[in-house]
Amino acid sequence: MWVVKDLIELIASLLVVRIIGNGITRNLLPKYKERAISIGNLFKILGYLIVIVIIIAFTRISTELALFGGTVTGLVLGLALQPVLGNLFAGLIILGTRFIKQGDIITILNWQVPYQWASSPAYKFFSSDYIAPGFKGRVLEIGLFSSSIVTEQGQEIKIPNQILLGGAAIEHYTQWSNYITNNIRVEIPIADIKLFENKAKEVLSKFGNNAEIYLSEQSDKNYVIYLIRITIPIDENWLIIKDNVLRQLISYK
Given this model, what pLDDT does residue 5 score? 73
**Domain C-terminal end among 132, 148, 171:** 171
Determine the structural domain holding residue 121 and report its residue range. 105-171
Given this model, what pLDDT does residue 134 score? 82
Which run of H or of E encompasses 16?
helix 2-32
Domain identity same for 11 and 32: yes
Domain identity same for 6 and 67: yes
Share of the chain above pLDDT 90, in %: 18
Local structure of 64: helix, strand or coil: helix
Domain identity same for 161 and 193: no
**Domain C-terminal end among 115, 142, 171:** 171
Given this model, what pLDDT does residue 192 score? 92
Checking if the pLDDT of 64 tops 70, the result is no
Which run of H or of E encompasses 89?
helix 82-97
Strand 105-109 and strand 135-142: the pairing is antiparallel
Asked if the structure places residue 225 within a domain, the reply is yes
According to DSSP, the residues that pair with 148 across neighbouring strands are 141, 158
Checking if the pLDDT of 13 tops 60, the result is yes
Q: Is 252 left (phi over 0), alpha (psi -120 to 50) or beta?
A: alpha
Checking if the pLDDT of 178 tops 70, the result is yes
Instruction: Give dist(CA 37, CA 21) in Å, integer.
Output: 9
Asked if the structure places residue 95 within a domain, the reply is no
pLDDT in tens, 189-216: 999 999 999 999 999 998 988 999 999 8
The alpha carbon dihedral of 97, 101, 106, 110 has a sign of positive
Asked if the structure places residue 6 within a domain, the reply is yes
Checking if the pLDDT of 1 tops 70, the result is no
Sequence-ordered list of residues with C-beta below 8 angstroms from that of 69, at least 6 positions apart, any chain: 61
Given this model, what pLDDT does residue 141 score? 84
**Domain C-terminal end among 171, 197, 222:** 171
Given this model, what pLDDT does residue 242 score? 92
Which run of H or of E encompasses 138?
strand 135-142
pTM comes to: 0.55
Structural domains of the chain, count: 3
Indicate the range of 74-88, 126-140, 171-185 predicted with least confidence: 74-88
Strand 156-160 and strand 211-218: the pairing is unpaired
